Structure formats: C-alpha cells, structure tokens
Amino acid sequence: MSAASSVTAHRVAVIGGGPAGLMAAEVLARGGVRVDLFDAMPSVGRKFLLAGVGGMNITHAEARPAFLSRYGKRQAELTELLQDFDADALRAWIHELGIDTFVGTSGRVFPTDMKAAPLLRAWLRRLRELGVAIHTRSRWLGWNADGSLRIAGIDGEQAVSADACLLALGGGSWPRLGSDGAWTSLLQERGIQVTALKPSNCGFETAGWSEHLRNRFAGAPLKNVALALPNQPARIGEFVLTERGVEGSLIYAFSAAIRDTIETEGRAVVHLDLLPQTPLAKLQQALARPRGKQSLAKHLHRQTSLEGVKAALLRELAAPEAFAEPASLAPWIKELPLTLVRPRPLDEAISSAGGVRFEDLNAQLMLKTMPGVFCAGEMLDWEAPTGGYLLTACFASGRAAAKGLLAWLGDRSDICH
C-alpha cells in the first residue's frame, strides 16, 4: 500500500494560517488527508498581506551559495529544508497560481503587480478546491489530557481530535496580527525547550542623540552608505535615523550580529562609510584644498558633496578636534563609529529569532518527545534578513514538515495493516 493511499482516512490539524501553515495545508491535502486549519485571527495571511505593503518581496534571485549564507548560524538546517523547495521552486509555484514574477535591480523577486492580495486570493481558492477547511477566530490553547487539541472559538472551547498536528504559529514580533509568541509557554509546559524569542530585523538605539540631530533629522534617510562590523564584510545600502537610533534595510542586514554583540559586550560599534565610492586618499586631497572664507560646512559640500543628514551625523560622531583641519575629517567620513546599545522592542521588529530548537526536532521537523506533532515556519529557531529570505524559508519549512507528517502517517498505517 502506498503512503498516499494509506493516509487517506486520516485527519490532520494545522495550527496557524501564515505562509508556513498554508503551504503545509496544501501539501497535506494533496497527500490525501483531511486538513483542518485553525487560526486565531478573523482571516488568514494577515502578516503576509502586511509584508506586501509597498511591494511583495517574495524571494531573492541571488546565487545559491550567497542565498544560503543569509541564514547565518542555522545555514546547515535551512539548507536541508531548501533542498526540495528553493527560490526557483517557489517562483514556479507562484506561476502555477497564475501570478507572474520579475526580478528587481537588487535581485529581489516580486509579483508583477507588486501586491500580496492577488497571490493570497488565488492560493486560498486552490486550498478550498483541495478541501482544506479553514477555521478562523479559532485559537489553539494546547492539549487536553486525552491528547485532543483545545481550540477556543466564538462559541466557546471545543476538543478537536486529530491523527497528527502541525504547528506553524509564527514568531513574536507582530502580536496585533497574531504572531504573539503565546505558544512558547504551551510547549514549555510539555517539556519542550524553547529558545527565548528576540527581535530580528529591528532598529537599534544609541545612548542618545543630541537635541539638534533628533529634532532636525529624525526620520531622514542616509542613502548610499556602507556599514561594517568587525570580521564581517561591509555592505552598501541605506538606513534611517530615528529619534532614538537607527533602522532600515542596511541595519536589518546586520541585526543578528549587532544584537548578539550587545548581549555579550553591552554595546556594538558599527562603522559607517558616508562616501563609499570615494577613496580615502582622494577625499583627503579634496579636503586639503584651501577653503578661503568658506565655512567648513560649505567646504565639505563643495569638495565632497557631503551635506544634510550625512554632514550632521559626521558632526555628531566625529571627534571635535577633527574639525580643526578639514583634511583630518577624511578618515572619519570613511570610518565613522556608531555605538548601539540596545535593540528596539520585539513587537516593533519585522521578525524574531529564537523558538523551537532544531535539536529537539527530527529530520522531518517532528518533536522528538511528542510523536505526531510537527513544527514549521518562524516558530523554529532561525532568522534571516529581509529580502525574501524569511518568506522562502517559511514556505520551505511548511512544505518539509507536511511531507514529514505524511511519511509518519504512512509508516503508522503500514504498521497497523
């Protein structure tokens, strides 16, 4: 008897209606099982839709080695998950839904209309055709003594019996959209070790900006700058000054390293290159030219085009004595130290690190101490920068956990027969 035919009579509960849970539901339904998906919110895919505001960055088109490196400490584990469903496979899956994609100049992949809603609508239509039953306003509260699932709905609590369940409950960074991390205590009550949830792809605070910088430049973007951390290659991009510190895509790319450094050392010093296309020697030569009666600010602007928020940040962070001689500012422009002292709170972050450890899961993403319970998505202990890496891994882990669940059901059915 094949695994597909042997699991047909089974009922599976999927908890969580984000990308990982929806992908798992699709794979399970195609595998022939009855799927009930439960989500606490009034509709599914809410964080997915919000991620699409301003442009739905679904994945990234960079070469595989660089793509996999974005998963940092969990690269080995994510490489295994992405073997079967990588960025190319994700794009092909989207195309099957009738949604075209294109690669932007940065390598990021978007739907042609840049929107998440049409993709989600097409996907939900497919899930309905496959027979997936979606139950919204249905919050999972853990397990009853007999192993059934506790589900609280608008009509009260019910006990749901299932042959297996797949948890895809997200991280803790978007409580208003359902990703509140409340599931951590439910697993810990069952003896599952959960790494504490931490902010990822988040902003950071300094010890405090001057009143001038805060009042004049909070919210201002610094474009075409380079950022570097010790023992890491510099990257060029942009970020934004905030009232308390910094945020934005260039900061997010380093957020894991910055956060971890703050945890171990109490602070993290990043170095900014305000003019990454201008070599130091050329900058020194330009600033050494006589400035006559020009103010230093005008001299900087005339010789280097440095002005506005970049000039203000230089004034904020460079040593006061460097301003006595314009040429002395060149090294500061090329390597301006910025000290960060704490990340912004978890509920402001784009995503979270921490969660269910891979060491507590088998190769099929089933909890080793809880047979029949599988985990997927952002509730696993991994993180990645923005740019499509987060979504790709959520899709891939949902697919992998669902395939593992089908194999587990098949094995049990074969044993029973």
Regarding whether 322 and 405 lie in a shared domain, the answer is no
Q: Among 343, 364, 393, identify where a domain stops.
A: 343
Regarding whether 158 and 278 lie in a shared domain, the answer is no
- Whether 5 has a pLDDT exceeding 90, the answer reads no
For residue 100, CA distances in Å to 22, 96, 312, 393 come to 20, 9, 44, 20
User: Considering the chain, what percentage of its residues have pLDDT values greater than 70?
Assistant: 97
Regarding whether 283 and 144 lie in a shared domain, the answer is no
Regarding whether 183 and 297 lie in a shared domain, the answer is no
Total domains, the chain? 2
- Whether 4 has a pLDDT exceeding 70, the answer reads no
Note down the domain range covering 261: 209-343
Alpha carbons 224 and 251: distance in angstroms, whole number:
13
Regarding whether 97 and 46 lie in a shared domain, the answer is yes
Question: What does the pLDDT look like over 302-323, one tens digit per residue?
Answer: 899 899 999 999 999 999 999 9
Q: Higher pLDDT residue, 299 or 127?
A: 127
Question: What does the pLDDT look like over 323-368, one tens digit per residue?
Answer: 988 889 999 999 999 999 999 999 999 999 999 999 999 999 999 9
Alpha carbons 57 and 119: distance in angstroms, whole number:
12
- Whether 269 has a pLDDT exceeding 60, the answer reads yes
pLDDT at residue number 354 = 96
Regarding whether 215 and 188 lie in a shared domain, the answer is no
Strand partners, 14: 37, 166
Alpha carbons 378 and 19: distance in angstroms, whole number:
10
Q: Among 343, 365, 395, identify where a domain stops.
A: 343
Regarding whether 361 and 338 lie in a shared domain, the answer is no
Regarding whether 254 and 360 lie in a shared domain, the answer is no
Regarding whether 150 and 30 lie in a shared domain, the answer is yes
- Confidence grade of residue 413 (pLDDT, cut at 50, 70, 90): low
Regarding whether 160 and 32 lie in a shared domain, the answer is yes
What is the chain's length? Answer: 417
pLDDT, the chain, mean: 93
Q: Kindly state the tokens that stand for 376.
A: 């997927």
Strand partners, 179: 174
Regarding whether 356 and 286 lie in a shared domain, the answer is no
pTM above 0.85, yes or no: yes
pLDDT at residue number 179 = 86
Question: What does the pLDDT look like over 244-258, one tens digit per residue?
Answer: 999 999 999 999 999
Q: Among 280, 311, 343, identify where a domain stops.
A: 343
The stretch 295-301 carries a mean pLDDT of: 87
Regarding whether 406 and 300 lie in a shared domain, the answer is no
The stretch 27-49 carries a mean pLDDT of: 95
Question: What does the pLDDT look like over 198-213, one tens digit per residue?
Answer: 999 999 999 999 999 9
Question: What does the pLDDT look like over 144-185, one tens digit per residue?
Answer: 999 999 999 999 999 999 999 999 999 999 888 888 999 999
> Within a 10 A sphere around the Cβ of 179, how many other Cβ atoms?
26
